Amino acid sequence: MSVLELKIDDALMLRQYTAGDAVAIFDLISRNRDHLSRDGETTALKYGCWLDVMRSIMYAPNPQRLRFGLWHGDVLIGTRNIQINNDGTAETGSYLGAQYQGKGYMRKAMNRMVQFAFEDLKLREIYSVIAETNVRSINLVTKAGFVQDKHRKIPAAQETPAKLYFVKTNNTIY
């Protein structure tokens, strides 16, 4: 199986997960458990050990979801994923290690993912569902040209904040 690599610049790359990445992914999650548990996110809860990560890569429950590590050289600093739907749309999401925030890495990765979605996958729309309290992610997608779709919103439930929809449309006709 070939591994999909999306070069961003001389230092940054999005590389599709392989089983060999499990320890690096788990280490990133472990170092950022508090950070990854904000805003109702469950990433930190899903992976108690590196074997949980390995199983999620080797036996991915959804083959339409492409998961990428964001690599700065040989250091895993975050992740980006894209869930491809059957209607020409896809949902994208990410996380970045707390120590790497504020350096523009995820902005570059988001722009590369948008390019991949529209140019390579020929999708008509990508969207992101973000907790209304996650200001960094909201700023990220709006700077990438996404706009809030105020007609779609998941209301707050118990300790989970409301989720907002941000959409970017492909204006290229194929």
The model's pTM is 0.86
Distance from C-alpha of 91 to C-alpha of 108, rounded to nearest angstrom: 18
Quick one: residue 84, left, alpha or beta (phi over 0 = left, psi -120 to 50 = alpha)?
Answer: beta
Distance from C-alpha of 87 to C-alpha of 154, rounded to nearest angstrom: 21
Return the C-alpha torsion angle 115, 117, 121, 124, nearest 10.
Answer: -110
Amino acid 7: pLDDT: 97
Quick one: residue 39, left, alpha or beta (phi over 0 = left, psi -120 to 50 = alpha)?
Answer: left
**Which two tokens mark 75?**
């250091």
> How confident is the model over 15-74, as pLDDT tens digits?
999 999 999 999 998 888 777 767 666 676 677 788 888 888 888 778 888 999 999 999
> How confident is the model over 130-163, as pLDDT tens digits?
888 889 999 999 999 999 988 876 766 655 677 8
Domain boundaries, the chain: 5-169
At the second CATH level, the architecture of 5-169 is 3-Layer(aba) Sandwich (3.40)
Range with top average pLDDT, 74-78, 126-130, 131-135: 74-78
Q: Average pLDDT for residues 107-123, to the nearest whole number?
A: 96
pLDDT of 164 over the 90 cut: no
Amino acid 39: pLDDT: 66
Residue type, 97: G
How many C-beta neighbours within 10 Å does residue 32 have?
Answer: 19
